[in-house]
Structure 1
Amino acid sequence: MSVKKDMLPGLDRREQRLVQGLDSAAALVGEEGVIAASAQERHDGNKGTGAFPADAVEACLRIAGVTLDDVDFLAHGFRYEPSPVFERDHLMRRWYQEVYSEQVQLGLLRARYPEHDWSRKLARVPHHLAHAASAYYLSGFQDAMVLVVDGMGETESISVMSGRHGQLRTLRTYPISASLGILYSVVTHYLGFQPGMDEYKVMGLAPYGDPSRYADVAGELSRRHPGGRLSIPLLARDRSPVERETHGGALRRLEELFGPARHPDAPLTQRHMDIAATLQHCLEEGLLFILRTALDQADGNPRDLCMAGGVALNCTANGLIARSGLFDRIFVQPAAGDDGSALGAALWQLGQHVPTTPVAMTMPYWGEEFGPEEVAEALTALGPEHDVRKLPDERLLEQVSALIRAGSVVAWFQGRMEFGPRALGNRSILADPTAPGMRAHLNAVVKQREEFRPFAPAVLAEDAHEYFEMKPGQEGLYRHMLFTTQVREKYRELLPAITHVDGSARVQVVERGNAPRFWSLIRRFGDDWGTPMVLNTSFNLRGQPIVRTPREAVATYARSSLDALAIGGWLVVRRSRAQEGIDD
């Protein structure tokens, strides 16, 4: 972002985010699997940062108890080479000379870690290959189709690969001019949100809209052609070097098609909802078209699918693909965006030196964990207006269950931090999914975000198919909160806080063996009150990354309107709410 700001002074922050390489992260892998992984944003507080992940690197080394001397290779999830593309204009030349080239990357490493010979240790992995490896090697599927869809890699925006017996082979790529990811980001910008960060908001807005309103102009967004070719006419409107950096031509065309762009502070209208619905429909149709084409042209009959890249975080599209019947099993690596490309680059490089076969991952609890001493020290920052108690495990679960049922919003900080954008029960905010006003309260008061945003349920695996439209045996698909499905109609009135306007929910299925403490809390809530699920959202406030440390957890709780904090074995409750859920 700093390079783009220097290239084109005067861009606003949203325009600066139309760049490659945000969401920087580090991961450490070995023959035993994934050892540690962490996003840089959790360390420096800059959400979605593209900064060199020095803090994340140090965290991974600290978790493993090793130093850089013990690391055989440092793999990077991009591999730019000299190309005529970078001679197209002066801005492209600067990108290559100042950011993308191998010499720049080596220079950064030598400046940061001068004692190491990085010319021997640095392994540059093509971006889509890194994404593909992050999904395939953690899927457990031996023979699978692998789909990578994002804004762009080095020269491609979509890659279809074959994963077979531990090897990845590219079958087809689509150029940047066919980028569904860039299309989604440009329309996200047009709708007044931050591109490269807020696409999930547009996904959440889409069910309020009607895509038929703009069906006559949807072909200006994306078109499908014989032979599996895909085009994005909107992107062809960017003709000058500056327009290619800012998508100014595409944004002007969007205003011609749909009317004035929305200012970030302006109200959302039905027009904006219908545009979001049109965009989501184009994305879904494009993905199904690509997959059907790939299946028609594939050798054999692959029945398993792996997905990665930022577009694979679109839970609604993922749910549609799962329901399409095209594949028997689907796996989406939970850190599917560019943070996960760090993980994939490491896994790919490992596979070049050690025989590698895909092994099914469970939960991405690969971040830092903190002991009772660190928690106790952090709690000393709280004043007398907070009731702080150390409780036995069963008593803690009992009290948190009672607080949630009483209408309290409880922050839950336990175990190792999750890797990826979803809070999966270790850095979460929890509430009662049956409370009619809870969704509005969380959006307006606690999370301080847009009122249309949905919340996810975390439900016990053994009960998931009772409440949601999934077959027994499908529970693992929903382990990482990356697929939507329908709430069964008879339970929609019972579960207003987690049922979206279209009857869907972004479900997290919780298995006892994978998340024992979180499972035990939900089991206790179900035994106490009859519904074996809780509302689960990430433990952060507006504009803040998910909390990492006990100190951040305590500080975030203290400055928020959260009612309680369960951190390790401690329960903290504001004294003004202390009698509403807990007993002496």
Structure 2
Amino acid sequence: MNILGISAFYHDSACCLLQDGVLINAIQEERLTRIKNDSSLPKKAYRWCLEQAHLSPSDIDCIAYYEDPVKKFARQLWSKNQNIRLDNLADFDPKNVEYSIREQLGYEGKIVFVDHHMSHAASSYFFSGFEDAGILTVDGVGEWATTTYGRAEGKKIDLFEEVHFPNSLGLLYSTITAYLGFEVNEGEYKVMGLAPYGTPHYASQVRKLVTMEDKGQYSLNMEYFDFMKGKRMYSEKLVDLIGVPVRERNASLDTCHMDIAKSLQVVLEEILIEKVTYLYNEVESENLCLAGGVALNCVANGKVLKNTPFKNMFVQPASNDSGGALGAACQAHVQITGERPAQSRIHQIYTGPSFSNDQISVVLGDFTKEALNYTTNEENLLDEVATRLKDGKVIGWFQGKMEFGPRALGNRSILADPRNPDMRDIINSMVKKREGFRPFAPAVIKEKCSEYFELDHESPFMLETCQVKPGMDMPAITHVDGSARVQTVSLESNPRFYKLLSKFETYSGVPILLNTSFNVKGEPIVCSVEDALLCFINTEIDCLVLGGYIFDRNEETVRRIKKILGEKFSTVQQRNVNSDVYTFA
């Protein structure tokens, strides 16, 4: 049984292949088109999924689409009647989705439409390994739902309560994101990273934006929002309420902005804890599954697990819309076969393209002869890389299959020594080219995690934060509030990365590395060899490790790589920068 899952036409479009209920591959369209948060029909991702599995469109039993176009169109018609700002309504004709799939993908078979929040719910539950669970999904908006509460057992998911648009925690967070001068659907991470620098002086004002109601319900106080009819997310009444001028894009960040971010984070956590506690009382399970864009708020996730009765938690590693493709495929599998997808708890999400040393050498040509080549001796490769890390070098690390979802997890990563007090500023300014306040995450050997962090369970996807234990001097990965967004690495999930961490411990005494995504601001994470080369020469990364090849940065190396890439090296620019307007789709 071959089922393709697709998410598209809003943001984070993606495609995945589920074969006999097992995830075979998955990739976001942005990684192939190089357009950040690409929302188009994932044609390249679709072709890649088929090619990797040696399938043709006729071999596909079903395409599962991650939302219901008819229900979504009903909301859009309602929105039009409310004079809500929309793009051309004709573009949202529900027939367009099926037409696009058939015409642009050349597919003639069965298409199943799965409700948006059911796709989120299934994407978490069916990969959690739990036999039963309570499920919470929270995002901006699906068809009508913005928050859903569910119970699951075996193969069945029951979403028993919904909060409907325009009441939305995702839109609340995006509104303050815009207020603080960051891009909607992109800058929410920045607000989360800014929050620990502040104090919740504005929490009482932020609480006025939301009215808490019985059961799982809440409502936004719409007088403070303008995303329904205006050209921005917030109204003038919100500006008056907060009492701080709206921050202009790229303006300086003052204490008041940090305090607003902290206040928003505190209020979000309060709401989630209250509603998750309600969910626990409604379901007979100690297991919690989270999905939806708000579930990527790793700070809130940690608070939820610590402050609610649930004992176990699983957060879908691609909780945004890209992960909806996985959930739609899983739910379609249940509908068609009557069986639960044959997927135990996932401990890794390396589902994208990989490049052998032979394939890398084809791209590099004769230049491979000048690289340090350790293709036949992994021990020497790891020695060389660990030594450079110990000496303060920043490493571009390109290995194995690319990760699915927003986090780099050790295959498309930038690595550095977490003990270096200057390393965070170095990488933010010279490599990532992003705001200096943003933190970096540690990757740690799973078995030694509890020696360094207040974390007693694995966290393979960087989806919750915890405190760094006292006395652990790792300033490059310790946030201003003493927290860290930990990735635990096991030998089973990523052998080469695990061995590099072990080797670095041999040289430094610390089984931890700073791990951030291999990209620059405004660009997707690198996918191909060419992407990695391009990022290397347009940053100040000290050393690039492509499979078994090591390239140290010098003028001759950069010159040779530019020659290999031709004109590509001059085309790096920030693309698809979002505005502070939330476009409803």
> TM > 0.5 between the two?
yes
Question: Alignment partner of 2:166: what SS?
Answer: helix
Residue 496 of structure 2, aligned match among 506, 517, 524: 517
Tell me how far 1:555 sits from its aligned partner: 1.8
1:400 aligns with 2:385: yes
Deviations 1:324-373 (CA, angstroms, capped at 9, x unpaired): 25211100110000000011111111111221155211201000111222
Match of 2:80, as an amino acid? D
Question: Alignment partner of 1:141: what SS?
Answer: coil
Question: Alignment partner of 2:204: what SS?
Answer: coil
Deviations 1:439-495 (CA, angstroms, capped at 9, x unpaired): 111111111110100000000011000000022xx12xx11111100000121xx10
Tell whether the 8 Å contact from 1:365 to 1:417 is kept in structure 2 after alignment: yes
Q: Provide the C-alpha distance between the structure 2 equivalents of 1:67 and 1:405, rounded to a whole number of angstroms.
A: 48
Residue 67 of structure 1, aligned match among 56, 62, 68: 56
Tell me how far 1:83 sits from its aligned partner: 3.1
Q: Provide the C-alpha distance between the structure 2 equivalents of 1:229 and 1:575, rounded to a whole number of angstroms.
A: 59
Tell me how far 1:22 sits from its aligned partner: 0.7
Question: Alignment partner of 1:168: what SS?
Answer: strand
Q: Provide the C-alpha distance between the structure 2 equivalents of 1:517 and 1:204, rounded to a whole number of angstroms.
A: 30
Higher mean displacement: 170-179 or 537-546: 170-179
Tell me how far 1:93 sits from its aligned partner: 10
Structure 1 residue ranges without an equivalent (≥5):
1-18, 579-584
1:162 corresponds to: 151
Change (3 A) 1:409 1:290: same
Match of 1:453, as an amino acid? R
Tell me how far 1:321 sits from its aligned partner: 1.1
Change (3 A) 1:228 1:36: closer
Q: Provide the C-alpha distance between the structure 1 equivalents of 2:409 and 2:228, rounded to a whole number of angstroms.
A: 42
Deviations 1:524-581 (CA, angstroms, capped at 9, x unpaired): 1011210001100000011110000011111211221000011111111124799xxx
Tell whether the 8 Å contact from 1:461 to 1:511 is kept in structure 2 after alignment: yes
Match of 2:332, as an amino acid? Q
Q: Provide the C-alpha distance between the structure 2 equivalents of 1:93 and 1:275, rounded to a whole number of angstroms.
A: 27
Q: Provide the C-alpha distance between the structure 2 equivalents of 1:469 and 1:261, rounded to a whole number of angstroms.
A: 37
> Superposed, which structure 2 residues align to 1:383-532 within 5 Å?
387-391=371-375, 392-471=377-456, 474-475=457-458, 478-491=459-472, 494-532=473-511
Tell me how far 1:224 sits from its aligned partner: 1.8
1:261 aligns with 2:249: no
Change (3 A) 1:329 1:227: closer
Q: Provide the C-alpha distance between the structure 2 equivalents of 1:236 and 1:370, rounded to a whole number of angstroms.
A: 53
Match of 2:470, as an amino acid? E
Deviations 1:232-275 (CA, angstroms, capped at 9, x unpaired): 21x344579632xx445x24233222322111120000010000
1:89 aligns with 2:45: no
Tell me how far 1:154 sits from its aligned partner: 0.5
Tell whether the 8 Å contact from 2:203 to 2:264 is kept in structure 1 after alignment: no
Tell me how far 1:170 sits from its aligned partner: 1.0
Match of 1:483, as an amino acid? E
Change (3 A) 1:490 1:242: same
Residue 219 of structure 1, aligned match among 201, 207, 214: 207
Change (3 A) 1:318 1:71: same
Question: Alignment partner of 2:69: what SS?
Answer: coil
The percentage of aligned residue pairs carrying the same residue is 38
Tell me how far 1:146 sits from its aligned partner: 0.7
1:323 corresponds to: 306
Structure 2 residue ranges without an equivalent (≥5):
1-7, 558-585
2:101 corresponds to: 109
| RMSD after superposition | 2.3
User: How many residue pairs end up in the alignment?
Assistant: 543
Q: Provide the C-alpha distance between the structure 2 equivalents of 1:330 and 1:442, rounded to a whole number of angstroms.
A: 32
Change (3 A) 1:383 1:445: farther
> Superposed, which structure 2 residues align to 1:543-562 within 5 Å?
543-562=522-541
1:10 corresponds to: none
Q: Provide the C-alpha distance between the structure 2 equivalents of 1:317 and 1:415, rounded to a whole number of angstroms.
A: 31
Match of 2:464, as an amino acid? F
Higher mean displacement: 66-75 or 76-85: 76-85
Tell whether the 8 Å contact from 1:79 to 1:125 is kept in structure 2 after alignment: yes
Q: Provide the C-alpha distance between the structure 1 equivalents of 2:25 and 2:97, rounded to a whole number of angstroms.
A: 23
Q: Provide the C-alpha distance between the structure 2 equivalents of 1:55 and 1:545, rounded to a whole number of angstroms.
A: 15
